[in-house]
Amino acid sequence: MAAMPRPFNFSPGPAALPEPVLRQAASEMLDWNGTGLSVMEVSHRGKEFMALQAGIEADLRELLAVPANYKVLFLQGGAIGQNAIVPMNLLRGRKSADYVDTGAWSTRSIAAAAHYCRVNVAASGKAGGFTSIPKPSEWRLDSEAAYVHICANETIGGVEYHWVPDTGAVPLVADMSSNILSRPIDVSRYGLIYAGAQKNIGPAGLTLVIVDERLLGGALPTTPSAFDYTIQAANNSMINTPPTYAIYLAGLVFRWLDDQGGLAAVGERNRAKAALLYGCIDGSGGFYRNDIAPADRSLMNVPFHLPDPALDAEFLDGAKAADLLQLKGHRIVGGMRASIYNAMPLEGVRALVAYMVHFATRRG
């Protein structure tokens, strides 16, 4: 039987997963790997699951070119959990950390870290309405800071770093929840990368941490063992039961990314998708508007406004009727937001652009 075409899902997260991944997971739901059981039903300490997780870690290391001196951890608690877990683990006796404020998610990271240390906001885009990433010349970094924290892509506001900050000897920590695996990166430029899985990795419930092992060993004594990077690294992320199904699904996504040609090819496709959508917005004669400085525009999350918020509901209803789902913007920004992560095909962006052109012609 021919598969029904699925709608195009522009959700910011939990986000669309690649259709072949969902189909494979469905086909293996009742009998995984010849066990007669679902992968959800087997022991995380059994040899089948241990081998699966080791293979998934190896695949991720290859995809992202993770250097050998970095640990890959499969944790829980989301990126919000990491907001506290990072200072617990990385202060290493220091009293302060530098944070760069680029929008809603970095603001939350700053508030959480302030419970653990003195936070120096080294630069902030707040005065400009978070429409650009502060220029490196404006950053006031502290050489005594335990680390410098950035949010690599602000999922709500739609600004993204297209360069890697130079923080000298101070480790750079990045929340990559919404742009990890969207293109190749040089992992060695970061001390630690973390990401909730539910955008570009897999389903919610898994939090990925990639950490330079030279930063381990200094967690606060009160750190829960499940959140102590050193303990988890020494125990294959199995100090407690890991989120086994989410890890399995992430493994299918990693394989799919490899089938797509790896991150260089995926990055090219993401650039083309974003160019098409921003081109539509910029070429709409002012009907659609995106306020972000062009050099800092996110390739993953594209917020845009219609000329009058009174048109929003009609726009969304028409989009839904055209099988273009979950385009409503975040309440703190308003308007629309199209999230175009790896699993969004170019055809999905083409369909959205065709709808936007049609809507603007009718209402413009």
Binding site for ligand PMP (CB under 6 A): 13, 78-80, 105, 151, 155, 175, 177-178, 196
CA-atom Rg of the chain in angstroms: 21
Least CB distance from residue 196 to ligand PMP, whole Å? 3
Judged by DSSP in three states, 362 sits in: helix
Question: In whole angstroms, what is the distance from residue 303 CA to residue 29 CA?
Answer: 36
- Give 23-31 contacts, CB < 8 A, sequence gap 24+: 24/252, 25/248, 25/249, 25/252
Let me know if 282 is a catalytic residue: no
Which one-letter DSSP state was computed for residue 69? Answer: T
Least CB distance from residue 104 to ligand PMP, whole Å? 8
Question: In whole angstroms, what is the distance from residue 356 CA to residue 353 CA?
Answer: 5
Least CB distance from residue 35 to ligand PMP, whole Å? 30
Question: In whole angstroms, what is the distance from residue 271 CA to residue 314 CA?
Answer: 29
Closer of 86 and 90 to ligand PMP (Cβ): 86
* DSSP letters spanning 340-358: --TTS-HHHHHHHHHHHHH
Let me know if 199 is a catalytic residue: yes
Closer of 194 and 287 to ligand PMP (Cβ): 194
Catalytic residue from among 32, 98, 105, 273:
105
Let me know if 105 is a catalytic residue: yes
The CA–CA distances, whole Å, from 62 to 228, 255, 328 equal 25, 11, 36
Question: In whole angstroms, what is the distance from residue 72 CA to residue 213 CA?
Answer: 10
Catalytic residue from among 71, 199, 273, 328:
199
Least CB distance from residue 79 to ligand PMP, whole Å? 3
Alpha helices in the chain (DSSP H): 19-27, 47-64, 78-90, 104-113, 229-234, 244-259, 262-282, 312-321, 346-363
Residues whose CB falls within 8 Å of the CB of residue 279, separated by 6 or more in sequence, listed in order: none
Question: In whole angstroms, what is the distance from residue 250 CA to residue 239 CA?
Answer: 20
Closer of 81 and 345 to ligand PMP (Cβ): 81
Least CB distance from residue 185 to ligand PMP, whole Å? 15
Closer of 49 and 161 to ligand PMP (Cβ): 161
Least CB distance from residue 44 to ligand PMP, whole Å? 21
Closer of 280 and 329 to ligand PMP (Cβ): 329
Question: In whole angstroms, what is the distance from residue 72 CA to residue 237 CA?
Answer: 9
Closer of 14 and 184 to ligand PMP (Cβ): 14
Give the residue numbers marked as catalytic.
105, 175, 199
